[in-house]
Amino acid sequence: MTKGKTIILATAVAGTLDLLSAFVFSALAPHPAGPDAIMRFVASGPLGDGALTGASAYVLAGYIVHFAIMTCMVSAYVLIAPSVPGLFRRPLVAGILYGLLLWVIMYWVVRPVRWPGMYPRSVLGVAEAWFSHIVCVGLPIAFIAWRHRARSALSR
């Protein structure tokens, strides 16, 4: 499998799992937001607050933004991992640590820059975000990259 195919596969898997976790956690929240509202919020990051109430095209824009961000997260791992051999020796540990790194970047850098004062507000919220970033994003990326590396080694 080429790096490009690895990136596409890991983006599809991690991106879909991350969305599903967001939809489920939102549905279980005291004041649930539906998938359309979640995707509008995602779109509002780069496109502004008009996405929150604007045309339905913003829902599609939210999916595009989400998968673009996920492609960057996956690409960084897949392209850097060969330079860090430990990432392939211990994909479980690497996936957990990468998920935590992505959480720190998203919740303590990206979101506060766009929405000042928007920090994790509860232990449950942090736990849900950690689950999503570790189990749904970090681990799939690490294991798909590890599988790619193992298959590439076998085909040499």
- The predicted pLDDT at position 1 comes to 73
Amino acid, res. 146: W
pLDDT tier for residue 134 given thresholds of 50, 70 and 90 = very high
- The predicted pLDDT at position 41 comes to 95
For the chain, the residue count is 156
Q: What percent of the chain has pLDDT over 90?
A: 76
| Longest pairwise C-alpha distance within the chain | 53
- Using alpha carbons, select from 151, 146, 22 the residue that is nearest to residue 77: 146
pLDDT at 86 over 90: no
The per-residue pLDDT for range 3-13, each reduced to its tens digit, is 999 999 999 99
- The predicted pLDDT at position 94 comes to 97
Cβ–Cβ under 8 Å, residues 142 and 94: yes
pLDDT at 112 over 90: no
The per-residue pLDDT for range 38-79, each reduced to its tens digit, is 999 999 999 999 999 988 999 999 999 999 999 999 999 999
Cβ–Cβ under 8 Å, residues 74 and 10: yes
Give the pair of three-digit tokens for residue 17. Answer: 């799992």
pLDDT at 154 over 60: no
- The predicted pLDDT at position 149 comes to 83
- The predicted pLDDT at position 116 comes to 86
The residue ranges of every structural domain in the chain are: 3-154
